[in-house]
Amino acid sequence: MRQRIRKLIGTVLLLIFVIVWALFGMLVAQGRVVELPGYGRFFVFLFLGLVWVLPAGLLIRWMARRDV
């Protein structure tokens, strides 16, 4: 697959993933996280804010591969 096509597919997938992850984060935030003490909320939001980077990084790495 050519890099140009991979970048197009990866960009669309990345946009969809970020939107779904943001909606998931809002869903979690409206759940029982509100009842947690301040440090508990901090760690939940820290987790939600950092975990999405791993799959996004893998996707970007796949997009940036050279043509074979």
Cα angle 13-25-6, degrees, rounded to a multiple of 5: 10
Residue 9 has pLDDT above 90, yes or no: yes
Residue 68 has pLDDT above 80, yes or no: no
pTM: 0.81
Beta carbons within 8 Å of 9's beta carbon, 6+ residues apart: 63
Mean pLDDT of 22-38: 89
Mean pLDDT of 35-60: 93
Distance CA 12, CA 32 (A): 32
Residue 39 has pLDDT above 90, yes or no: yes
